[in-house]
């Protein structure tokens, strides 16, 4: 099954300063969206970022999904979204855990679901869009992932919000990183629509749950 709709690539990351330590732990998240213009073939890009004053990495990872898909839904079109993250919490959750939770009415056998409300918001935010979830190793020189990390850590430190999708600063950032030699690997190619493998629909939540 290949992409049925125009493809959008999302690269998302999250940051939490002092995650797991006592006291306030400010965090942030950010993402880069790429879309290929159907006529010119040009790759067009948008950014988003957000922050919370006291949070966790997992909460920020979930919000990265919510913010990306809500931003896309505001465009008024349906997309096939290739969502790439270095968070196994997100990739494993969306591909393995959530279908089981939903089939049992948003419950799990081993106790309460961590961040249940955010998981439910994340699933709701997916809307009509197709989605494929891909994992990438973080802090490994992947240009788009490193840029998402830049957006997330800056948002966490400065506690700033983009307020939705905004024109990307990726080109200027990657040029500066190339000049400094900090990112040397090639950009991740834009996904081939024929190679996109959308995840199956989630199960319906049993009535009365």
pLDDT in tens, 78-126: 999 999 999 999 999 999 999 999 999 999 988 899 999 999 999 999 9
Residue 21 confidence (pLDDT): 61
- How is residue 146 annotated by DSSP? H
The DSSP-derived string for 66-124 is HHHHHHHHTTTS--EEEEEES-HHHHHIIIIIHHHHHHTTS--TTSPPTTHHHHHHHHH
pLDDT digits (tens, 9 = 90+) for 11-25: 999 999 876 566 689
pLDDT of the residue at 184 = 86
And the tokens for 9?
A: 């690539």
Average pLDDT for 150-162: 97
Tokens of 121: 């918001």
Q: What pLDDT is attached to residue 136?
A: 94
- Taken in order 11, 44, 42, 199, the sign of the CA dihedral is positive
Handedness of CA 114, 120, 125, 130 (dihedral sign): positive
Q: What is the mean pLDDT of residues 129-136?
A: 97
Closest C-alpha among 163, 156, 148 to residue 32: 148
149 membership: H or E segment, kind and range: helix 143-158
Cα distance between the two ends of the chain: 32
Please report the pLDDT score of residue 47 as a whole number: 98
Domains of the chain: 7-187 (3.30.420.10)
Strand partners, 9: 34, 82
pLDDT single digits (tens) 41-76: 999 999 999 999 999 999 999 999 999 999 999 989
Asked if pLDDT for residue 209 goes beyond 70, the answer is no
Q: φ, ψ for residue 95 (rounded to 5)? A: -95, -25
Q: What is the pLDDT of residue 55?
A: 94
pLDDT band at 3 (very low <50, low <70, confident <90, very high): confident
Distance CA 200, CA 86 (A): 21
The yes-or-no verdict on residue 207 having pLDDT over 70 is no
**Radius of gyration, CA atoms only, the chain:** 17
Q: Which of 69, 52, 70, 42 is nearest to 16 (CA)?
A: 52
What was the pLDDT predicted at 1? 66
């Amino acid at each position: 099954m290949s992409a049925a709709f125009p493809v959008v690539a999302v690269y998302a990351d999250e940051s939490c300063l002092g995650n797991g330590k006592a006291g306030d732990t400010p965090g942030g998240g950010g993402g880069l969206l790429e879309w290929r213009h159907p006529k010119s073939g040009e790759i067009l890009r948008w950014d988003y970022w957000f922050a919370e004053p006291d949070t966790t990495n997992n909460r920020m990872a979930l919000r990265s999904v919510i913010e990306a898909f809500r931003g896309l839904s505001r465009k008024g079109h349906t997309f096939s979204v290739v969502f790439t993250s270095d968070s196994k919490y997100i990739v494993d959750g969306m591909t393995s855990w959530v279908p089981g939770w939903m089939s049992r009415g948003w419950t799990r056998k081993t106790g309460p679901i961590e961040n249940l409300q955010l998981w439910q918001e994340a699933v709701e935010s997916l809307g009509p869009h197709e989605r494929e979830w891909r994992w990438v190793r973080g802090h490994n020189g992947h240009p788009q992932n490193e840029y998402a990390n830049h957006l997330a850590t800056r948002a966490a430190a400065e506690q700033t919000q983009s307020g939705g999708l905004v024109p990307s600063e990726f080109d200027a950032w990657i040029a500066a990183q190339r000049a400094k030699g900090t990112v040397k690997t090639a950009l991740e190619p834009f996904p081939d629509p024929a190679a996109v493998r959308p995840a199956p629909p989630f199960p319906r939540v049993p009535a009365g749950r």
